[in-house]
Structure formats: structure tokens, C-alpha cells
């Protein structure tokens, strides 16, 4: 029997890997005895063993509501099990995605190697060559949440246990935690891309730039690479490639401090972060740098459209997530 404690341990493990999960991104779930335990919106997977981050959802009621097109499926708060405490937590934005997949364990990560493939103009074709032998499906970009669930439903086949989400990430599903972990490792290995080395920042230049400002240098060379890796900055400067990019960092990459952006890439010097920025900003900055360092110089990338960006930044579900303390 799969237990919630097993899911907690696994969630904390993958949540501590910045190449898979960043800050409050990603989510996991367990279906057991009619209840689907899903990570709460805005919580961090790495905290799964230290604190309660899972919300109990009545799976049958949610599936029935989905079939009827019930708008309550947007937030899923109406389907929290009244007989089991939720600790006041709100279900993940991706609750309907997890509900659709029949497997007991569902894992959604923002794997940087996967995203580096999923933002390519010919992503489905190129990924297909890497995932030969897997039961997988490619899902073109759709707004996270109910829209994404609808897009998945159109392409889901009974045998599918791997989903690559265009401009978003990766989903794997299995009947046990061990099987999900094994499948995740195999898919991540198959999708691994070459990565340019993170170039160390110019510490003296950053110190001078931050003097007398509300900014301080980022803490890791991987985050600084957003500014010290020329191709990374060139690719990321004026586009948005996946939802958490715009939600936490804004459109593109800020290259000057005047506008008060949470993270600023000072070309050739390094990255600086506002002292009052939320804890999520640096992990999200590193994620963008990690993705961009895996993109080739000649790759043709596809970003989100203006209407997609507008929907994300004005979405109540994302405003809720950003309003949380971290």
C-alpha cells in the first residue's frame, strides 16, 4: 500500500533538486481510498516532510464536476474533503491535471532539461527521438490549470504515463512512489541536454553596482550565469518561455535597476536581487539561467504569446500564490 508518508519523502527529495523543482513550482499527488492528496498552492515540495503541504480532494466528485464542465473546477476548493483536515490550504493550480491521470501517483516537475526541449519550435519532433520506447504524449502549451487539463484530455491515451508540456515542464505517473521515481529518472536521463559551464561573476563590479541600492548579488554562480553567459541573456532578454518565468521574474530579463525588477542581470558581471524580494526569486532566476544554458546558439525558440502572458499575470490563482509569504 502506498502511503502519504512515502509521497512526502519523495516530494521532499525532488523538491531539493533545483534542476527539477524551483521554489513553489511543481506538485505531486496520491490517490488513495477515494481521496486525492495534492500539494497545496504556493507551498514548496522540499518542505513536504517538515510541514503539512497536502490537501485532501474528493476525487470522484471532482471528476464528475470536470465531466460536467463545472466552473468550480477552476479552484477545486469545493472538492476539499470535509471529513479530512486541509489545514486551511488551497489545492494546487494543477489539481485537475492530477485528477485526470488514472495512476495512483502523479508527479509534475519543472525539469530544466525538459523545458529546454519544450521551448523549441520543433519540440514534439525532437523530443520524440529522445523518448522512443516511452508511453508519452506531447501537450502543446495551454494555460496552467483547467485549460491545461482540457488539452491533456484531448491527447491522453490509456497507456500514457509521461507527458511533456510545451513551454512548461514534465509529468510522470505510476502506481507506486518507487515506480514514479524510477520513471522520472529514466525520462530525465533521456532528455538530458549539454550545458555550458556557469561563468563566475565579477564580484567587485557587482559590489560597486549594488552600493547604495536595494540590491545585493545573487548567491550562486548558476544564477549569475543569466548575466555572465552571453547566449543565455540574449535568448532570455525579451521573451517569456514558461509560466513561472513571468510570474516571478517579469517579462524577459531586466538588465537595469531603475525599474525595480526583483532580479536584474548585469551583462558580463552577474545577477543582483532586490533585498526585499521573495525567497522564490533567486531559484526562479537560476531556473531560467539553467534552461538558457542548455539552449543551443542556433536553436529557434518559441515563447509565450502576449495574451498568454496577460492571462498569467492577471490570474487570481497566480495572484494568490504570489501573495503568500514566500
pTM of the full structure? 0.95
| pLDDT higher than 70, residue 68 | yes
Q: Is the dihedral of CA 234, 204, 218, 14 positive or negative?
A: positive
C-alpha separations of 20 from 10, 45, 159, 268, 286 in Å:
13, 11, 24, 27, 12
The percentage of residues in the chain with a pLDDT greater than 90, rounded to a whole number, is 91
| pLDDT higher than 60, residue 86 | no
**Averaged over 120-148, what is the pLDDT?**
97
Are the CB atoms for 79 and 62 separated by under 8 Å? Answer: yes
| pLDDT higher than 70, residue 60 | yes
Q: d(Cα 214, Cα 115) in Å, to the nearest integer?
A: 32
Q: What integer best gives the mean pLDDT of the chain?
A: 94
CA atoms within 13 A on the CB side of 199: 18
Confidence (pLDDT) at 157: 95
Are the CB atoms for 192 and 113 separated by under 8 Å? Answer: yes
Strand ranges for the chain from DSSP E: 27-32, 35-39, 54-58, 105-109, 136-139, 162-165, 169-174, 215-217, 263-266, 270-274
Strand ranges for 112-228 from DSSP E: 136-139, 162-165, 169-174, 215-217
Burial label for 95, CB within 10 Å (0-12, 13-18, 19+), is buried
| pLDDT higher than 80, residue 87 | no
Confidence (pLDDT) at 297: 84
Confidence (pLDDT) at 53: 97
**pLDDT tens figures, 270-311:** 999 999 999 999 999 999 999 999 999 889 999 999 999 999
**pLDDT tens figures, 138-172:** 999 999 999 999 999 999 999 999 999 999 999 99
| pLDDT higher than 90, residue 325 | no
* Region for residue 178 given its phi and psi (left: phi exceeds 0; alpha: psi -120 to 50; beta: otherwise): alpha
Domain boundaries, the chain: 4-190, 203-318
| pLDDT higher than 90, residue 51 | yes
Q: d(Cα 279, Cα 100) in Å, to the nearest integer?
A: 32
**Averaged over 37-51, what is the pLDDT?**
97
Q: d(Cα 10, Cα 12) in Å, to the nearest integer?
A: 5
Confidence (pLDDT) at 317: 59
Are the CB atoms for 29 and 37 separated by under 8 Å? Answer: yes
Q: For the domain bounded by 4-190, which CATH number is listed? A: 3.40.225.10
For residue 99, name the pLDDT band (cuts at 50, 70, 90).
very high
Instruction: Produce one character per residue of 284-315: b if its CB has 16 or more CB atoms within 10 Å, e if not.
Output: bbbbbbbbbbbbeeebebbbbeeebbebbbeb
Are the CB atoms for 233 and 267 separated by under 8 Å? Answer: yes
Are the CB atoms for 235 and 292 separated by under 8 Å? Answer: yes
- As separate numbers, helices (DSSP H) first and strands (DSSP E) second, the chain gives 14, 10
| pLDDT higher than 80, residue 212 | yes
Which of the pair, 324 or 200, is modelled with greater confidence?
200
3-state secondary structure of 113: helix
Are the CB atoms for 104 and 31 separated by under 8 Å? Answer: yes
**Averaged over 250-271, what is the pLDDT?**
95
C-alpha separations of 87 from 26, 42, 80, 91 in Å:
20, 14, 11, 11
Amino acid at each position: 500500500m502506498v502511503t502519504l508518508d512515502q509521497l512526502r519523502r519523495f516530494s521532499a527529495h525532488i523538491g531539493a533538486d533545483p534542476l527539477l523543482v524551483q521554489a513553489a513550482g511543481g506538485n505531486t499527488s496520491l490517490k488513495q481510498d477515494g481521496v486525492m492528496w495534492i500539494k497545496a498552492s504556493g507551498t514548496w515540495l522540499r518542505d513536504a516532510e517538515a510541514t503539512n503541504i497536502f490537501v485532501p480532494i474528493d476525487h470522484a466528485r471532482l471528476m464528475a464536476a470536470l465531466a460536467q464542465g463545472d466552473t468550480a473546477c477552476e479552484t477545486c476548493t469545493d472538492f476539499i474533503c470535509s471529513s479530512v483536515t486541509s489545514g486551511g490550504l488551497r489545492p494546487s493550480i494543477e489539481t485537475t491535471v492530477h485528477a485526470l491521470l488514472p495512476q495512483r501517483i502523479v508527479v509534475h516537475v519543472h525539469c530544466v532539461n525538459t523545458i529546454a526541449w519544450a521551448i523549441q519550435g520543433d519540440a514534439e519532433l525532437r523530443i520524440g527521438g529522445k523518448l522512443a520506447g516511452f508511453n508519452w504524449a506531447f501537450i502543446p502549451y495551454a494555460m496552467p490549470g483547467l485549460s491545461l487539463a482540457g488539452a491533456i484530455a484531448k491527447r491522453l491515451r490509456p497507456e500514457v504515463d509521461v507527458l511533456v508540456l510545451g513551454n512548461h515542464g514534465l509529468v510522470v505517473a505510476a502506481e507506486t512512489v518507487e515506480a514514479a521515481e524510477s520513471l522520472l529518472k529514466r525520462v530525465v536521463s533521456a532528455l538530458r541536454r549539454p550545458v555550458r559551464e556557469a561563468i563566475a561573476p565579477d564580484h567587485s563590479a557587482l559590489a560597486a553596482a549594488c552600493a547604495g541600492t536595494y540590491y545585493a548579488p545573487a548567491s550562486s554562480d548558476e544564477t549569475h550565469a543569466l548575466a555572465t553567459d552571453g547566449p543565455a541573456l540574449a535568448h532570455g532578454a525579451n521573451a517569456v518561455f514558461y509560466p513561472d518565468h513571468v510570474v516571478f521574474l517579469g517579462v524577459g530579463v531586466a538588465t537595469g535597476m531603475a525599474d525595480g525588477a526583483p532580479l536584474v542581470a548585469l551583462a558580463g558581471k552577474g545577477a543582483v536581487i532586490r533585498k526585499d524580494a521573495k525567497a522564490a526569486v533567486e531559484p526562479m532566476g537560476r531556473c531560467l539561467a539553467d534552461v538558457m544554458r542548455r539552449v543551443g546558439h542556433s536553436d529557434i525558440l518559441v515563447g509565450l504569446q502576449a495574451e498568454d502572458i496577460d492571462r498569467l499575470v492577471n490570474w487570481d490563482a497566480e495572484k494568490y500564490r504570489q501573495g503568500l509569504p514566500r
